[in-house]
Structure 1
């Protein structure tokens, strides 16, 4: 996907298909999550040795600190990422996040050095990660999964599931993210 397509899919998650250049500018100016994602995408595309890459990296670092998003450019992120609330989102640099995912405030997606699953998580498509959820270890979160607020997940989660609690438990459900993930970019 081109940079333009990725940014358009991220904007679609914010506003739906009613997009214009003025909408883009308004969200780039006023929406912390979209602003951060925009500069994240540009950092991934351009090297820091280019003028665009240097400027993007400057704003990426500034907004990372200002809004509390710690998502390194080394993270593999699919199209349509939505960060609807700013505040202390931490993602390990080797994690993978699929398309059309919602990540809310206080979320940690991290690695573990030891234990039963040392490594980094892989998050599928259409995943909703609720506030203060923690996902750690070399695990796989399937597509269409809702991770409830405050859940602690350190095991593989199958598709079409709800994960809740600490210790977490899995409940199978058809389309668990249907009412949580909207404006899906195709």
Structure 2
């Protein structure tokens, strides 16, 4: 009985405050609530609160976006993600990132981003492209074509520099789908 109290105190003092003191974690908590309760009356409250958080933190991420477990938003401010984009699990997105759609031409559509992708500050990913698992998109990179797995992409237009990938860069790794 005493062990249970110690464990619950450890949880409440270490994990619980971290969730609500970090803007990215708080935002994703309400993002998940909006998706979980989307067809219930309580969803209106969650959506209203979620809209306020979008304005407060500068995250323009619709609650209908398909995002895997473990998304890490390290800094708040000016993150724009198209509602039709798909983001895999354990991805890290820095401030100033745009993941958007192209409305015409051969690249018409939205990006699909694989698992464990690290996207650096002020990067832009647009069009009907696929970013492979474990890829690393360097800061200030413009990507408008497919990126293979484990690639390190740098520059404008994005060029593959090597295949060292995102190993060691991923924060907040979730090992299973919670």
Q: TM-score, normalised by structure 1?
A: 0.84
Select the residue among 23, 33, 52 that pairs with 1:32. Answer: 23
Q: Secondary structure at the match of 2:45?
A: helix
2:119 corresponds in structure 1 to 129
Q: Give the aligned length.
A: 166
Alignment of 1:133-144 (within 5 A): 133-144=123-134
Give the structure 1 partner of residue 92 of structure 2.
102
Higher RCO (CA-CA < 8 Å; seq separation 6+): 1
C-alpha distance in 1 between matches for 2:19 and 2:39: 21
Q: How does 1:7-156 map to 2 (within 5 A)?
A: 20-47=11-38, 49-51=40-42, 53-156=43-146
C-alpha displacement at 1:31, in angstroms? 0.9
Distance 1:183 1:87, change over 3 A: closer
Q: State the Cα distance separating 1:49 from its structure 2 match.
A: 4.3
C-alpha displacement of 1:21: 3.4
Pair 1:185 & 2:174 matched: yes
Matched, 1:167 2:160: no
Q: Is the 8 A contact 1:111 1:118 kept in 2?
A: yes
User: TM-score, structure 2 length as denominator?
Assistant: 0.88
Shift of 1:27: 2.5
User: Quick check: 1:48–1:54 contact (8 Å CA) kept in 2?
Assistant: no
Structure 1 runs of 4+ off > 4 angstroms? none
Show structure 2 runs of 5+ residues with no match.
1-9
Cα distance, 1:57 vs structure 2: 1.1
CA apart distance, 1:30? 1.6
For the aligned residues, what is the CA RMSD? 1.5
Q: Which runs of 5+ in 1 are unaligned?
A: 1-18
